[in-house]
């Protein structure tokens, strides 16, 4: 399969020299960029080399595909529920755990189709997912019956199927919760699992799906949910297993003051120190949020090259706080962007997330705040570093053919084309993506998914979402249509 983009108005390479090419072409062979620059197309066409598809780049800007470093895809089915709106993280979680208890294989698959579909349509070509809710059959609590067995319902398998179907590069994480309410944790006992089941399933998934090769379309990471929903022992054993298997490790950290208080009360130290004691820093670890850090903690994350997934929309919606992004980057940490779960955003709009990151940083950090190109770098180069990939994130010969074309000839950009990067970050709207190419394949064309019927996804998602809410309402007696007090 080969593909040629000809005469793009701009190609924003984000390479080390920060080159922005004018009237440039990109030749793609198989999964990678074979050549890039002005004149490349003419040469390829006159050589007689068969080209499967030629895309007209006139009026368009081409950027590297965006990288989403944090998500909970299943939450696409539980967004905008009146009873869970506009409350902080802990009470928000307690209400939603009861709805998430209704997740099954179909829900996880259709939730992934929704979230990954929206990501592709908003320019994201590589996404992680953090799935940590594994409800026990029949609502049994952990330890009250036989083990669920290593398959744990096949939920991660279901989202990997969805990613393959849509054609997105995928970094699922095997999440986990092991500290139920009866042991002082936040989640109900019915959605937590035993350590042995979690670790056995982590190993199975790594052996089945993890591909460390260049241009890999699927890499697994291990991701206990948070300090307040897993045991100390599970955190320690998970990062050890991840390192033994050559996987990365991920969790939420320093998201709220409630979490800080939980750690101080229970472990006698702040969240980062707790994780450091357990071996949880380094270039193979990334944390979602990392908001409530003091100066010394910012420095320690920088020195260890630990990654941070900055999720501005979620942090604003849950009133969590503002990530010290510019300072973390300056200290040496890897910083990427994430949309976070759709119940706290409430969308999987990676393009919108860039704009949020830009505006929030201008407000919160003043002169030191991110500029438009810094934010585009977070969403590409930064995300690639967070995920430990040297084959995605910028455009050059030999890099993965993950490309996004935006049509600048639209009313949202009119009168504002003086700087193409500022234009795409701050102007237009989130759904201006014309074409998304992943691994050398066109997966969004004319703004629509090519590999799945969007209407079918919408109908299935609405049905499954209503069924989950109905079952949860019957079981708990909660009126989820009643706004939160």
The whole-angstrom distance between residue 175's C-alpha and the CA centroid of its chain comes to 14
Instruction: Name the DSSP letter for residue 93.
Output: H
Q: How far is the CB of 447 from Zn ion (least distance, A)?
A: 28
- Contact window for Zn ion (CB under 5 A) among 210-218, 256-264, 339-347, 378-386: 339-347
- Contact window for Zn ion (CB under 5 A) among 158-166, 333-341, 358-366, 429-437: 333-341
Specify the 3-state DSSP secondary structure of 20.
Answer: strand
Residues 188 and 101 sit within 8 Å (Cβ to Cβ): yes
- Residue 27 or 343: which CB sits closer to Zn ion? 343
Residue nearest to Zn ion (CB): 340
Positions 273 through 332 that interact with Zn ion (CB under 5 A)? 288
Give strand ranges (E) for 187-247.
221-224
Contact mark string toward Zn ion, 132..171, x via CB under 5 A: ----------------------------------------
Positions 45 through 104 that interact with Zn ion (CB under 5 A)? none
Q: Are strands 2-12 and 53-56 parallel, antiparallel or unpaired?
A: parallel
Residues 75 and 27 sit within 8 Å (Cβ to Cβ): no
Q: How far is the CB of 18 from Zn ion (least distance, A)?
A: 31
Q: How far is the CB of 361 from Zn ion (least distance, A)?
A: 20
Distance CA(405)–CA(60), nearest Å, equals: 6
Q: Which of 284, 288, 176, 298 is nearest to 234 (CA)?
A: 176
Query: How large is the greatest C-alpha to C-alpha distance in the chain, in angstroms?
Result: 71
Positions 340 through 369 that interact with Zn ion (CB under 5 A)? 340
Q: How far is the CB of 180 from Zn ion (least distance, A)?
A: 19
Q: How far is the CB of 202 from Zn ion (least distance, A)?
A: 19
- Residue 133 or 457: which CB sits closer to Zn ion? 133
Distance CA(390)–CA(80), nearest Å, equals: 37
Distance CA(98)–CA(92), nearest Å, equals: 11
- Residue 340 or 439: which CB sits closer to Zn ion? 340
Q: How far is the CB of 288 from Zn ion (least distance, A)?
A: 5
Distance CA(343)–CA(311), nearest Å, equals: 13
- Residue 1 or 94: which CB sits closer to Zn ion? 94
Positions 213 through 232 that interact with Zn ion (CB under 5 A)? none
Q: Which of 46, 19, 107 is nearest to 421 (CA)?
A: 19
- Residue 67 or 288: which CB sits closer to Zn ion? 288
- Residue 340 or 353: which CB sits closer to Zn ion? 340
Residues 447 and 433 sit within 8 Å (Cβ to Cβ): yes
- Residue 202 or 345: which CB sits closer to Zn ion? 345
- Residue 226 or 430: which CB sits closer to Zn ion? 226
Q: How far is the CB of 347 from Zn ion (least distance, A)?
A: 14
Distance CA(439)–CA(400), nearest Å, equals: 6
**What is the total count of residues that contact Zn ion (CB under 5 A)?**
2
What does the block give as tokens for 32?
A: 């990678």
- State the residues that interact with Zn ion by CB under 5 A: 288, 340
């Amino acid at each position: 399969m080969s593909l040629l983009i000809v005469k793009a108005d701009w190609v924003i390479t984000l390479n080390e020299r920060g080159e922005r090419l004018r009237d440039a072409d990109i030749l793609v062979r198989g999964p990678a960029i074979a050549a890039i620059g002005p004149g490349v197309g003419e040469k390829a066409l006159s050589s007689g080399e068969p080209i499967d598809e030629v895309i007209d780049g006139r009026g368009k800007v081409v950027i590297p595909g965006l990288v989403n470093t944090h998500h909970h895809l299943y939450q696409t089915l539980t967004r905008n529920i009146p009873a869970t709106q506009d409350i902080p993280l802990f009470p928000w979680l307690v209400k939603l755990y009861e709805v998430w208890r209704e997740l099954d294989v179909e829900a996880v698959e259709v939730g992934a189709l929704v979230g990954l579909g929206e990501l592709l349509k908003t320019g994201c070509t590589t996404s992680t997912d953090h799935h940590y809710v594994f409800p026990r059959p029949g609502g049994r609590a952990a330890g009250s019956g036989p083990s669920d067995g290593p398959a744990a319902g096949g939920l991660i398998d279901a989202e990997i199927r969805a990613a393959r179907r849509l054609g997105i590069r995928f970094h699922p994480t095997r999440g986990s919760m092991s500290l139920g309410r009866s042991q002082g944790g936040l989640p109900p006992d019915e959605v937590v699992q035993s350590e042995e089941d979690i670790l056995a399933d982590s190993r199975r998934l790594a052996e089945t799906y993890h591909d460390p090769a260049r241009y890999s379309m699927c890499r697994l990471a291990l991701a206990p949910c948070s300090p307040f929903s897993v045991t100390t022992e599970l955190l320690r054993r998970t990062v050890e297993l991840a390192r033994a298997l050559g996987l990365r490790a991920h969790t939420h950290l320093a998201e709220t003051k409630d979490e800080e208080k939980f750690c101080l009360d229970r472990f006698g130290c702040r969240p980062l120190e707790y994780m450091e004691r357990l071996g949880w820093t380094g270039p193979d670890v990334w944390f979602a949020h990392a908001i409530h850090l003091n100066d010394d903690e910012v420095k320690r994350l920088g020195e260890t090259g630990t990654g941070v997934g900055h999720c501005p929309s979620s942090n604003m919606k849950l009133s969590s706080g503002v990530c010290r992004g510019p300072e973390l980057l300056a200290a040496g940490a890897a910083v990427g962007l994430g949309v976070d779960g759709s119940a706290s955003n409430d969308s999987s709009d990676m393009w919108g997330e860039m704009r949020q990151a830009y505006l929030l940083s201008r407000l919160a950090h003043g002169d030191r705040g991110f500029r438009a190109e810094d934010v585009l770098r977070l969403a590409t180069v930064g995300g690639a570093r967070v995920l430990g990939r040297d084959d995605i994130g910028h455009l050059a010969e030999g890099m993965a053919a993950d490309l996004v074309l935006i049509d600048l000839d639209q009313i949202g950009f009119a009168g504002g084309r003086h700087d193409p990067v500022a234009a795409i970050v701050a102007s237009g709207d989130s759904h201006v993506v014309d074409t998304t190419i992943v691994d050398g394949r066109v997966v969004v064309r004319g703004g629509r998914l090519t590999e799945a019927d969007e209407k079918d996804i919408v109908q299935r998602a609405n049905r499954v979402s209503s069924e989950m809410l109905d079952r949860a309402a019957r079981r708990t007696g909660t009126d989820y249509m009643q706004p939160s007090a």
